[in-house]
A and B are shown apart, each in its own frame.
Chain A
Amino acid sequence: MALYSKTLYFLMGDRGLLLEFGDEISREINEKVRRMALAIQAEILEGIIETVPTYRSLLIIYDPTVLPIEGLKKRLELIEEGLQQTPLPEPNLIHIPVVYGGIYGPDLEGVAKYHQISPEEVIRLHCGKPYLIYMIGFMPGFPYMGELPQALVTPRLKTPRLIVPKGSVAIAQRQTGIYSMESPGGWQLLGRTPVELFYPEKDPPALLQMGDFVQFYPVTEKEFENWSK
Chain B
Amino acid sequence: MEQVEAFEVIEPGILTTFQDLGRHGFSQVGVPPSGASDTFSLRVGNLLVGNREGGSGLEITLMGLKIKALREVVIAITGGDLSPVLNGEPLEMWRTHLLVEGDIIHFKKVRTGCRAYFTVAGGFAVPKIMGSSSTYLSGKFGGFEGRALRRGDVLHAFDIPSPLNKLGLRFPSDWLPFWEKEEVLLRVIPGPQDHHFTEKGFQTFCSSSYRVTPQSDRMGVRLEGPKIERRSDVEESIISEGMISGAIQVPGDGKPIIILTELVTGGYTKIATIISTDLQKVAQLKPGDHVRFNPVSIEEAHLLLREQEERLREFKENFQKR
A residues near B, CB below 8 A? Answer: 10-16, 18, 24-25, 37, 49-59, 61, 64-65, 68-69, 135-142, 144, 180-181, 183, 198, 200-201, 204-206, 209-210
Output the least CB separation between A48 and chain B (Å): 10
Within 8 A of A (CB), among B174-198: 188-192
Output the least CB separation between A207 and chain B (Å): 9
Q: Provide the bound-state CA to CA distance between A10 and B196, in Å.
A: 13
Inside 8 A of B24's CB, which chain A residues have their CB? 49-50
Within 8 A of A (CB), among B3-47: 24-31, 33
Say whether, besides A13-B189, A18-B192, A200-B142, A138 and B247 are in contact (CB < 8 Å): no
Q: Is the CB of B247 within 8 A of A12?
A: yes
Interface check B275, CB cutoff 8 A: yes
Say whether, besides A11-B191, A205-B130, A52 and B302 are in contact (CB < 8 Å): no
Say whether, besides A51-B28, A64-B305, A69-B298, A16 and B265 are in contact (CB < 8 Å): no
Q: Is the CB of B29 within 8 A of A206?
A: yes
Among A16, A68, A144, A210, the most chain B Cβ lie within 10 Å of the Cβ of A16
Q: Provide the bound-state CA to CA distance between A69 and B305, in Å.
A: 13
Q: Provide the bound-state CA to CA distance between A68 and B306, in Å.
A: 11
Interface bits B272-285 vs A (CB < 8 Å: 1, else 0): 01111000000000
Interface check B270, CB cutoff 8 A: yes
Q: Provide the bound-state CA to CA distance between A131 and B139, in Å.
A: 26
Q: Provide the bound-state CA to CA distance between A15 and B141, in Å.
A: 27
Q: Provide the bound-state CA to CA distance between A138 and B289, in Å.
A: 29
Contact of B31 (CB < 8 Å), options: A16, A49, A140: A140
Output the least CB separation between B318 and chain A (Å): 20
Inside 8 A of A209's CB, which chain B residues have their CB? 28-29
Q: Is the CB of A138 within 8 A of B30?
A: yes
B residues near A, CB below 8 A? Answer: 24-31, 33, 129-130, 138-142, 188-192, 239-244, 246-247, 264-265, 270, 273-276, 298, 301-302, 305-306, 309
Q: Is the CB of B275 within 8 A of A200?
A: no
A-B contact pairs, 22 of them (CB 8 A): A10-B192, A11-B189, A11-B298, A12-B247, A13-B246, A13-B275, A13-B301, A14-B301, A16-B242, A51-B27, A54-B265, A59-B243, A61-B244, A135-B240, A137-B240, A138-B30, A140-B29, A140-B31, A200-B129, A200-B141, A200-B142, A209-B29
Closest to B306 in A: A65
Q: Provide the bound-state CA to CA distance between A139 and B141, in Å.
A: 12
Closest to B25 in A: A50
Q: Provide the bound-state CA to CA distance between A58 and B244, in Å.
A: 12
Tell me if B's interface is mostly helix, strand, loop or mixed.
Answer: mixed
Q: Is the CB of B247 within 8 A of A181?
A: no
The 6 closest A-B pairs by CB, nearest first: A59-B242, A52-B242, A13-B273, A137-B265, A10-B192, A14-B301
Output the least CB separation between B53 and chain A (Å): 14
Q: Is the CB of B29 within 8 A of A54?
A: no
Number of A-B contacts (CB under 8 A): 140
Output the least CB separation between B231 and chain A (Å): 15
Output the least CB separation between A22 and chain B (Å): 9
Say whether, besides A13-B247, A200-B129, A200-B130, A54 and B242 are in contact (CB < 8 Å): yes
Q: Is the CB of A52 within 8 A of B130?
A: no
Q: Is the CB of B28 within 8 A of A53?
A: yes
Q: Provide the bound-state CA to CA distance between A136 and B302, in Å.
A: 31
Q: Provide the bound-state CA to CA distance between A61 and B142, in Å.
A: 22
Contact of B192 (CB < 8 Å), options: A11, A54, A136: A11
Q: Is the CB of A37 within 8 A of B28?
A: yes
Output the least CB separation between A40 and chain B (Å): 11
Inside 8 A of A37's CB, which chain B residues have their CB? 28
Other A-B pairs beyond A68-B302, A181-B140, 5, CB < 8 Å: A11-B192, A52-B242, A52-B265, A54-B265, A205-B130
Q: Is the CB of B30 within 8 A of A13?
A: no
Contact of A14 (CB < 8 Å), options: B239, B265, B298: B298
Q: Is the CB of B28 within 8 A of A136?
A: yes
Q: Provide the bound-state CA to CA distance between A54 and B275, in Å.
A: 23
Output the least CB separation between A13 and chain B (Å): 3
Q: Is the CB of A25 within 8 A of B189?
A: no
Q: Is the CB of A183 within 8 A of B243?
A: no
Output the least CB separation between A198 and chain B (Å): 7
Say whether, besides A12-B192, A14-B298, A16-B244, A52 and B273 are in contact (CB < 8 Å): no
